[in-house]
């Protein structure tokens, strides 16, 4: 396995990212060592908020949430998933799998022996993080679930998967603006266009993704999100993620693994808050499933982050942090 590491110089003078880097070494399935970066801010004896990002973001996504969470007395730990941020980046798309990401995050969690956690997860942070919760439920005290999902065999039947597999080859490769328009129009094939764009478009751009899904236009912020990817060779992990969402026939094992995770989550009685945004074209409405299926979500005053896009931590970070602080006060460990 060939590994790339973004030069430290790429991260100099980032907007609103004054945090100290920390690293922990894990291993790929073939034994290749992988260096995983994480932030660790706030009092060491504070309750831990574990913040997991998705694609194509990194811990930079939490820069607006870390200061208020720390000011409230919490310790905030935010890793960069392998392939993202300051973490190592396997160079081939084939180096990445859903199960591999779950294993990498699990190794990191156990290596640091993190316990009594409040999980904040969004996008792939949810697909991966909720699988890790299901493996180690005793390590988590609360869950905050935002703009994510956990596709299983109930939501994606074999018949639906076969249909998607048949349709996918005919989907053309279009630019990010066209993908965003498909989502805006609630086109049922929008996600397939997203997969094609991310994995096959010759000009895949992190800036375009944030501009398309969050209407981001601050050059300094867009530079921050693009910093981990000096050129296209560093983007294999970001390009691979959409292809790993377990929708196609060859993803059956991943759907079954999510079935097993749901079986645990359906017994999870510790407090669960959903905090989806009202303007996310990708996951809007997905909170209802978590509220219905996880016992710990019953009776909780769930929140809707108004005006938030898909990356609500970016454009509504202060509001989301305030909701987490209130939730943790209301449900003390």
Active site residues: 123, 280, 310
Place of tokens 């060779």: 233
Place of tokens 């377990």: 246
Which string of DSSP letters, residue by residue, matches 212-240?
A: HHH----HHHHHHHHTT-SSGGG-HHHHH
Helices (H), the chain: 66-71, 98-112, 124-135, 158-167, 176-184, 190-200, 206-214, 219-226, 236-244, 252-265, 287-293, 312-315, 317-330
Q: With CA atoms as reference, report the closest residue to 82 among 145, 126, 25.
A: 25
Tokens of 44: 């060491």
Give the β-pairing of 33-41 and 140-146: unpaired
In whole angstroms, give the CA distance from residue 253 to residue 250. 8
DSSP-assigned letter for residue 47: P
Rounded alpha-carbon distances, angstroms, from residue 115 to 60, 129, 290: 23, 14, 23
Rounded alpha-carbon distances, angstroms, from residue 33 to 38, 87, 107, 156, 175: 16, 12, 12, 35, 35
């Amino acid at each position: 396995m060939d590994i790339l590491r973004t030069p430290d110089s790429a991260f100099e003078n980032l907007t609103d990212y004054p945090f100290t880097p920390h690293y922990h070494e894990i291993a790929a399935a073939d034994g290749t060592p992988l260096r995983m970066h994480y932030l660790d801010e706030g009092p060491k004896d504070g309750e831990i908020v574990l913040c997991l990002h998705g694609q194509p973001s990194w811990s930079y996504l939490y820069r607006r949430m870390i200061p208020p969470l720390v000011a409230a007395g919490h310790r905030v730990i935010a890793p960069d998933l392998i392939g993202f941020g300051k973490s190592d980046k396997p160079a081939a798309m084939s180096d990445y799998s859903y199960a591999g990401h779950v294993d990498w995050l699990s190794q990191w969690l156990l290596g640091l022996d993190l316990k009594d956690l409040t999980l904040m997860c969004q996008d792939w942070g949810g697909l991966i993080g909720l699988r890790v919760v299901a493996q180690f439920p005793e390590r988590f005290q609360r869950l905050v679930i935002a703009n994510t999902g956990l596709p299983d065999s109930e939501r994606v039947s074999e018949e639906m998967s076969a249909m998607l597999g048949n349709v996918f080859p005919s989907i053309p490769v279009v630019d990010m603006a066209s993908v965003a328009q498909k989502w805006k129009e609630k086109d049922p094939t929008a996600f397939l266009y997203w997969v094609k764009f991310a994995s096959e478009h010759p000009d895949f751009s992190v800036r375009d993704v944030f501009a398309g899904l969050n209407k981001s236009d601050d050059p300094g912020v867009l530079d921050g999100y693009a910093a981990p990817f000096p050129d296209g060779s560093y983007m294999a992990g970001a390009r691979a993620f959409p292809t790993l969402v377990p929708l196609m026939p060859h993803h059956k094992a991943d759907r079954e693994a999510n079935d097993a995770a749901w079986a645990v989550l359906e017994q999870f009685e510790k407090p669960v808050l959903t905090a989806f945004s009202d303007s996310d074209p990708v996951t809007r409405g997905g909170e209802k499933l978590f509220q219905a299926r996880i016992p710990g979500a019953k009776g909780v005053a769930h929140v809707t982050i108004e005006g938030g896009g898909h990356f609500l931590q970016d454009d509504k970070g202060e509001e989301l942090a305030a909701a987490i602080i209130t939730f943790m006060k209301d449900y003390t460990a």
